[in-house]
Amino acid sequence: MFAKPQSEHAWLDQLIGDWKFEHDCQMPDGNTSKTEGKMTCRSLGGLWLVCESSGDAPESGPWSSIMTLGYDPSQYQYVGTFVGSMMANLWQYSGQREAGGNRLVLDTVGPRFDGKGTCDYRDTIEIAASDRWLMTSALQDDEGNWVRFMTGTHTRV
């Protein structure tokens, strides 16, 4: 029952620490926004990464979120969740690291921006340096194309 951390879990340890970030959003409807905030990531038993973020969006005010990431050896994939004070949806992640090893691609399903049904989403975490990582978010359109709508840069504090 008691799992032991593996190399896939250790990869997530690169994100442990305190970060400041800037996120630029270009929504599918053409609206743009920019938000800044802070994030603290910690390990839960070496098996899970727990990241708590907060910020203040000019158009909607203060917000907070929690992301969990881990690796499930029985599924041979990374798994996790994301919840935010600005939405009622629980995002459930599953994904893999790309062959080069510095990018983790996480797939999920969530509500469409127009409120009509759901679509596939993809969040990608890319380790750029020991003190900087990037996160991008994209959705899959009706033609099967991935459309990026958010780019974030995280810098170690």
What CATH number corresponds to the domain at position 79? 2.40.128.20
User: Is 2 part of a structural domain of the chain?
Assistant: no
pTM of the model: 0.94
Residue 61 clears pLDDT 80, i.e. is over it: yes
User: Is 21 part of a structural domain of the chain?
Assistant: yes
- Around Cβ 69, how many Cβ atoms within 10 Å? 23
User: Is 127 part of a structural domain of the chain?
Assistant: yes
Q: Distance between CA atoms of 83 and 78, rounded to whole angstroms?
A: 17
The size of the chain, in residues, is: 157
- Which pLDDT score is estimated for 5? 96
Structural domains of the chain, count: 1
Residues whose CB is less than 8 angstroms from the CB of residue 26 and which lie 6 or more positions away in sequence, other chains included: 32, 148, 149, 150
Residue 59 clears pLDDT 80, i.e. is over it: no
Tokens of 87: 């939405």
User: Is 58 part of a structural domain of the chain?
Assistant: yes
- Which pLDDT score is estimated for 108? 98
Domain that holds residue 58: 7-156
Give the tens place of pLDDT for each residue, 67-111.
999 999 999 999 999 999 999 999 999 999 998 889 999 999 999
- Which pLDDT score is estimated for 12? 98
User: Is 136 part of a structural domain of the chain?
Assistant: yes
Give the tens place of pLDDT for each residue, 7-57.
999 999 999 999 999 999 998 888 888 899 999 999 999 999 999 999 988
User: Is 114 part of a structural domain of the chain?
Assistant: yes
Mean pLDDT of 127-137: 97
User: Is 27 part of a structural domain of the chain?
Assistant: yes
- Which pLDDT score is estimated for 78? 98
User: Is 1 part of a structural domain of the chain?
Assistant: no
